[in-house]
Amino acid sequence: MEKIIFNLIGNAFKYTLVGSIEVEIIYGQSTASLIVRDTGVGIPKADLPMVWDRFHRVEATSRSHEGTGIGLALTKQFVQLHGGTIEVTSNYPSNSSDDHGSTFTATFPLGKDHLPAAGLIDDAPMNNRRAYARGIVAEAAGWRPVGDAATPSDSDESYSGSEGHKSADLNFEPRDLIILADDNQDMLDYIKNIFSQYCHVRIAHNGKMALELARKYMPQLIVSDVMMPIMDGFGLVNALKEDPLLKSIPIILLTARAADSDRAEGVMSGADDFVPKPFSSRELLARANLQVQLGKRRKEMESRFLERTKELQILSDLSPAGLFRMDYECNIVLCNDRFFELSGIQQGQEIECRLNFVHNDYRVRVENMLKQSLEAQESGSIDFVFQNGTWVKCSVRWWKHGLVGMATDTTLTR
């Protein structure tokens, strides 16, 4: 029922740029009707039969760059689940001076005998009912125009979950930063109210602005609409993934298009999550919390990897032995500075022959030992001399990418 009320009122706000919105409840002998009446732009007669179709969007002036295209379809389904019906009438003017606006009427049977027993739950305690109502008011307050005075629903208490309990399983930190990108100011305010009690929030009105904020502040998460002017959500994802400094920032895309193909497009674009509208505040919080925690874990692992890589580089540089890695063609693909010193190879020098740094008298024997280790997937060792006259004891060990080895200087023992 919450979604029915919020979707109908939200739809009225969206298409009523000036004028008024009325909400009325009429009780009959066996039914109750919820009526939402607005003085908005109206719906063209040809579109009236299709407003309940998924992804159908009326081409009319609204507050948002992207129409919902799914909210009314879901609303009708929810009404039918309650055994009710919903109708719409509308005046679509031929010019701006004519009467215009739409009226949505949802009618529900009273009682619960018409509902399946499996779908019924016991009445919630009175304190939970009040908290649930405050949650609805808090979400609706997110649609108020910017600059309006705060209402009692903006108190910290109003951000409780729909059962009246603050979520103890969210792991946001006060210093976390989330960037919200949407061209719809009402939607920005609504989502900002969801997150601002948990962390810092910055808003952007298009993808380009969000990208600039990300470069400046390095957020823990970006939540972006798909359809926006200047740079859309997909463009923002691409720009983030192409930037080495920003590519690890998780991003959630919001869209009214919720078909399987649209979800696939969102995920394949590189977005970390894809949330269809309309969404519940609790679902968005849960998904955002997951992405923030995954992002932190990813950043921590990358930091540990870089730290470990640096440690290994230091050990390699300080090693008295020459360390190297060979591929299956016996080509040196990686070695430390000490190996360059022992072999006499100049760093950056192109090696014309894979073993031409080995003295001619030992080249065949060294090559046979290396091939044997590769074919038998076993360790091996050999004493030989480099072309520059340095004697070494060389030991190698097989692994799935070829061989890793160590060359120790034995010249003084000769």
Instruction: Give which of 79, 48, 54 is closest to 67, Cα–Cα.
Output: 54
pLDDT of residue 321: 94
Phi-psi region at 319: left, alpha or beta (left = phi > 0; alpha = psi -120 to 50):
beta
The tens digit of pLDDT for each residue in 255-314 reads 876 556 666 776 677 889 888 877 788 889 999 999 999 989 988 888 888 888 888 888
Q: Please, what is the angle between helix 2-15 and helix 71-81, to 10°?
A: 150
Confidence bin at 142 (pLDDT 50/70/90): very low
SS percent in the chain: helix, strand, coil, step 5: 40, 20, 40
Q: pLDDT band at residue 12, thresholds of 50, 70 and 90? A: confident
Which two structure tokens, joined as six digits, stand for 123? 């009445």
Question: Cα separation of 257 and 263, whole Å?
Answer: 8
pLDDT 10s digits, 175-208? 899 999 998 877 888 889 889 888 999 999 999 9
Non-local CB neighbours of 373 within 8 Å, separated by 6+ positions: 379, 380, 396, 397, 398, 403
Using the CB atoms, write b or e for 2-39: b if 16+ within 10 Å.
eebbbbbbbbbbbbbeeeebeeeeeeeeeeebbebbbb
- What's the confidence (pLDDT) of residue 404? 94
Residue that is written with structure tokens 């179709």 in the block = 53
Give 148-159 pLDDT, tens digit per residue. Answer: 433 333 333 333
Amino acid at site 25: I
Higher-pLDDT residue of 70 and 409 is: 409
Distance of CA 355 to the CA centre of its chain: 50
**C-beta neighbour count of 311 within 10 angstroms:** 10
Assign 62 to helix, strand or coil.
coil
Q: How far apart are CA 51 and CA 69, in angstroms?
A: 8
**377 pLDDT exceeds 70?**
yes
